[in-house]
Amino acid sequence: MEFFDRDQIQQRLLDWYANHGRKHLPWKQPLTPYRVWVAEVMLQQTQVATVLPYYERFIQRFASVEDLAAAALDDVLQLWAGLGYYSRARNLHRTAQIIISDHGGQFPDELTLLRKLPGIGEYTAGAIVSFAFQRQASIVDGNVKRVISRLHALPDWPGQSQTHRLIWDIATHYTPKQQCHLYNQAIMDLGSLVCTPNQPDCSQCPWQIFCIAHQRQQTDCFPVKKPTVAKPTQERYFLLLKNPQQQILLEKRPPTGIWGGLWSLPECSLTQNISHWCKQYYGLSIHQQSPLPTFKHSFSHYHLMIHPIALDVSQTINVIRDGGQTCWYDQAQAITQGIPKPVKYLLEQYQS
């Protein structure tokens, strides 16, 4: 593969950025490693427009790495609820504690040290070094992958390890030593504002004269799509167990895995006899049960068909299963715990 003229690639992009780049994102003022880190973690798998209100709330509540490290994980997860990929929030919390305990409250400014911290991968480490410390480091996010795939008309899906590595190598080759932070922001902005997933505006692109996908009029063919594999579907009963005080039983999920550490509804497989199951696991006797409408929730790797069942129980006793945490959630109160979106939806629907 041949590279294009590096000086021209850099200069054209920096000139474009000076006139059209996004310079007013909230994590840029003031620009600190903590603020860059929180923003970049939120931006993993999430669009800027979605992140903005979450970021504002998060930074207001946890203004510094010290505040975040001292917070209860439940409070962090509560502010994260709705953003998805909750392992990001757990890693943020854990990393904040390591920064305090092992680094004296200061972010490391070396890629290798940063990458040892939970949840900081190649991209996030590069973003912290380049944006917060303004030192040379290349970065590749979804926008950069798309721009480079089109610029060089890369023939394979960027998720393939060889193509992934190639894109990093191309990005590194073009990233300048000087003004690296501006260049990195510029290429991400180019992908977000001009080289968009659908109908890129090539007439406004500073790299149009080089771009192979554009010359072939095949911008919609790049990046090459992932080979399709049908997602499997799982089916579960979600149990809305209501006591005479109109409270609903919630159960804290294990710290890792789907919805780790969040408060959810008890759930079981469709093969279970629900009355027996509730008796066996919670010691609760069911008086009445009525099915609610089934709906689908999709994760990155599978679909979940949720079959909600409303159940009346007479007991108000504390129930604990397998040493986990349970609580009776009061429907009259606003939802403040970290609760997954579909569970929050069910609680709201059920109490209305």
What residues are annotated to the active site?
40
User: Among 302, 160, 138, which Cα is nearest to 223's?
Assistant: 160
205 forms part of the interface with ligand SF4 (CB under 6 A) = yes
The dihedrals phi and psi of 101, each to the nearest 5 degrees, come to -75, -35
Among 123, 207, 238, 328, binds ligand SF4 (CB under 6 A): 207
For ligand SF4 (CB under 6 A), the number of binding residues is: 14
Among 202, 258, 310, 327, binds ligand SF4 (CB under 6 A): 202
- Measured distance CA(54)–CA(65) in Å, rounded: 17
- Element counts in the chain: helices (H) and strands (E): 14, 8
Whole-angstrom distance between the N-terminal and C-terminal Cα of the chain? Answer: 61
In this complex, which beta carbon is closest to ligand SF4, that of residue 4 or of residue 80?
A: 4
* Shortest Å distance, C-beta 121 to ligand SF4: 25
The dihedrals phi and psi of 60, each to the nearest 5 degrees, come to -65, -40
User: Among 263, 158, 160, which Cα is nearest to 171's?
Assistant: 158
12 forms part of the interface with ligand SF4 (CB under 6 A) = no
* Shortest Å distance, C-beta 160 to ligand SF4: 21
In this complex, which beta carbon is closest to ligand SF4, that of residue 9 or of residue 286?
A: 9
Among 50, 64, 87, 208, binds ligand SF4 (CB under 6 A): 208
The one-letter code for the residue type at 266 is P
Task: Using alpha carbons, list the distances in angstroms from residue 23 to 184, 185, 202.
Answer: 13, 9, 22
* Shortest Å distance, C-beta 3 to ligand SF4: 15
In this complex, which beta carbon is closest to ligand SF4, that of residue 200 or of residue 342?
A: 200
184 forms part of the interface with ligand SF4 (CB under 6 A) = no
171 forms part of the interface with ligand SF4 (CB under 6 A) = no
Dihedral (C-alpha) 227, 233, 234, 239: value to the nearest 10 degrees?
130
Question: Sign (positive/negative) of CA torsion 332, 337, 341, 342?
Answer: negative
277 forms part of the interface with ligand SF4 (CB under 6 A) = no
Pairing of strands 303-313, 233-242: parallel
The residues in 139-158 that bind ligand SF4, with binding defined as CB under 6 A, are 147, 150-151
In this complex, which beta carbon is closest to ligand SF4, that of residue 2 or of residue 322?
A: 2
In this complex, which beta carbon is closest to ligand SF4, that of residue 145 or of residue 150?
A: 150
20 forms part of the interface with ligand SF4 (CB under 6 A) = no
Positions in the binding site for ligand SF4 (CB under 6 A)? 147, 150-151, 194-195, 200, 202, 205, 207-208, 211, 213-214, 219
